Amino acid sequence: MENRLSYTLYLADSALILSHRNSEWTGHGPVLEQDIAISNIALDLIGQARNFYDYAARQINQSGLNDPATEDSLAYLRDVPEFKNCLLAELPRGDWAVTILRQFFFSAYQTLLFEKLQHSGVDDLAAIAEKSLKEATYHLRWSSEWVIRLGDGTQESRSRILDALDQLWMYTGELLEPAHYELAAAVEGYGPDPATLKETWLEKIQEVFEEAVLPVPGNEWMQTGGKTGKHTEHLGQLLAEMQFMQRAYPGCEW
Amino acid sequence: MIRSEHITIEKVRQILEQVTDPEIPVLSIIDLGILRDIRINGSGLELILTPTYSGCPAMDTIRIQTRMVLLQNGIYGVKITTLLSPAWTTDWMTESGKEKLRAFGIAPPNSKQQVCDTKLFHEEEAIQCPHCRSYKTRLISQFGSTACKALYQCNDCREPFDYFKCH
Ligand SMILES: [Zn+2]
């Protein structure tokens, strides 16, 4: 129960936090079509987060051990160490190249994860994965095209995406390295061990990077910790903004 | 609450023809294929709805509108259940729904096989212009005015148009 809840929150938090980062582009996108695209991706991710939070809240309420939870209380009333999102999601949005490359790494991971998770032994998780897989597939397609456009584009776009690669690569390892609750999920048959997705994930990255004429970094040191609540300072800043209304006016609705 | 002998599934279906997608007002929830089931039992009426996209903001409006039209027909206390699996697919859109979309200026979704598969994700779809029916069109943006649509332009008549993506 504890592990399954942590696993569900990890999936929810990662989608919510990345959704929030992407939503920062709304009204600021480089061109109107792409402003709309990134906002729509944010919307898909928040929808996924809501479905996972809804299931997490039901687990909490059925256990009767904690205070009753709702999808809102889970998103708005938890603090930094309770969040289990991957570090990749919480990094500042950076420039367009950072946003694109992060989305590409994340969507490549999400599509592989959901392909497996749709066969989860837990019906709720399977249903959400099945629903979200098509969305992730579109996100992957869109971000791949942008990675190619930037990498194989102008000198400026190329240098920007190379910088983005420098910044982001060390946060990708965490996606594919299992936290204790992911190992439990694999043992109990309701979620894949992310280590088993690693090879296919790398192949996907290689395939797109080849077209984008980008180098695939070698075996570099990877920063981890987000999945178990050890975050960068950026998450606190993000939550301060995202949770402000509920913190300042508890229970407010409109 | 309603008494089951006063209401039939067919009657409910007719009433729900009036509930439309707020973003594509020519399509009813029946055309869209998001109304999955109508159940009438001792305790009342239950509707099973499935969302198009996880974060589709139209779903809340659709639920409210559903309650409203049923209320106007004297049916209240309706239970609306959201079902995620099986996941909605554009294959569930009715043929008449696809015709209505085209008449509205939105290219209807191609049948599923084309790009929904991850393996085919580099393939380009051939989308027909809803205005002049030409297939010489090009993708402008994967995401159009809403998450469910992509933006295309016709190379023949030059008109931009929305394409309801296969999903
Ligand atoms: Zn045309």
Residue A230 has pLDDT above 60, yes or no: yes
Termini Cα distance of chain A: 34
Task: Give the residue from B40, B50, B31 showing the smallest Cα distance to B6.
Answer: B40
Handedness of CA B44, B48, B51, B54 (dihedral sign): positive
The model's pLDDT over A196-228, given as tens digits with 9 standing for 90+, comes to: 999 999 999 999 999 999 999 988 899 999 999
Interchain CB contact of A187 with B (< 8 Å): no
**Edge-to-edge strands of the sheet including B149-154?**
B106-107, B160-164, B149-154, B137-141
Residue A24, classified by CB atoms within 10 Å of its CB into exposed (0-12), middle (13-18) or buried (19+), is: middle
Provide φ and ψ at A123, rounded to 5°. -55, -40
CB contact (8 A) between residue B56 and residue A47:
yes
The secondary structure of A38-70, three-state, reads: HHHHHHHHHHHHHHHHHHHHHHHHHHCCCCCCC
Q: Domains in chain A and their CATH numbers?
A: 2-248 (1.20.1260.10)
Beta strands in chain B (DSSP E): 20-21, 24-28, 35-41, 44-49, 79-82, 106-107, 137-141, 149-154, 160-164
Residue A141 has pLDDT above 60, yes or no: yes
Q: Which residues of chain B have pLDDT under 70?
A: 1-5, 112-124
Distance from CA of A180 to the nearest CA of B (A): 28
Residue A78 · residue A246 · CB < 8 Å: no
Q: Which residues pair with B150 in a beta bridge?
A: B163
Handedness of CA B97, B99, B102, B107 (dihedral sign): positive
pTM over 0.90? The answer is no
Residues of B in contact with A130 (CB under 8 A): 84-87
Residue A2 has pLDDT above 80, yes or no: yes
- From CA B24, how far away is CA B101, in angstroms rounded? 8
The model's pLDDT over A95-110, given as tens digits with 9 standing for 90+, comes to: 999 999 999 999 999 9
Above 0.85 for ipTM, yes or no?
no
Q: Look-up: residue for tokens 């289990």?
A: A84
Domain spans, chain B: 9-88, 95-164
How close is the Cα of B32 to the center of ligand 1, in Å?
25
Residue B114 · residue B127 · CB < 8 Å: no
CATH class of B9-88: alpha beta
